[in-house]
Amino acid sequence: MTGSKTVLGFNHVNVLVWKEGIRMKAISELRNGERFYSKTPVLVEDKRIGYRYDGTMFNYSKSGMYLETDYAPRPSRKIRIKIKSLPDSPSPQNYLAEVRWRQPLSKKASTYAYGIGVKYY
């Protein structure tokens, strides 16, 4: 991708930013831990307002996860994530996390409106 316009390319693994033909660091290059991929339904609750919504987790690590939803809490917002089921865990898992970033998704990229990166706390 070259040219003078800014293009944001996104997939479930990386966020790549192209600006004036220069590739900037992908978020995956800034991560500390290994990611595990699992397309898994989740229930997300915004702790501040109590709003609950469905989403899908696409990857996780020991420190955070990437999920997609139709609601995007602002960065620094505290949320509760309930993973309905994982292959190696018979019971639901609950996590408290902080939203680190959010990204609108195109209808071509996802059935959801936003991609969200969270860090556990």
CATH of residue 99's domain is 2.40.10.220
Residue 85 domain-assigned?
A: yes
Residue 76 domain-assigned?
A: yes
Average pLDDT score over residue span 85-102: 83
Average pLDDT score over residue span 97-105: 96
Residue 91 domain-assigned?
A: yes
Give the burial class of 73: count Cβ atoms within 10 A of its Cβ; 0-12 exposed, 13-18 middle, 19 or more buried: buried
More confident residue, 17 or 106: 106
Angle at 32 between CA 30 and CA 34, to 5 degrees: 110
Domain count, the chain: 1
What value does the mean pLDDT of the chain take?
Answer: 78
What pLDDT does residue 91 have?
Answer: 72
Pairing of strands 78-83, 64-69: unpaired
Residue 11 domain-assigned?
A: no
Q: Which of 14-23, 65-74, 88-97, 103-112 comes out lowest in average pLDDT?
A: 14-23
Residue 55 has pLDDT above 90, yes or no: yes
Residue 15 domain-assigned?
A: no
Residue 47 domain-assigned?
A: yes
| Separation between Cα atoms, residue 93 and residue 105, nearest integer Å | 26
| Separation between Cα atoms, residue 5 and residue 32, nearest integer Å | 31
114-to-66, 93, 118 alpha-carbon distances in Å: 11, 22, 13
| Separation between Cα atoms, residue 59 and residue 1, nearest integer Å | 27
Residue 22 domain-assigned?
A: no
How confident is residue 93, by pLDDT bands cut at 50, 70 and 90?
confident
What pLDDT does residue 31 have?
Answer: 54
Q: What is the pTM of this model?
A: 0.71
Residue 66 domain-assigned?
A: yes
Structural domain for 98, as ranges: 32-120
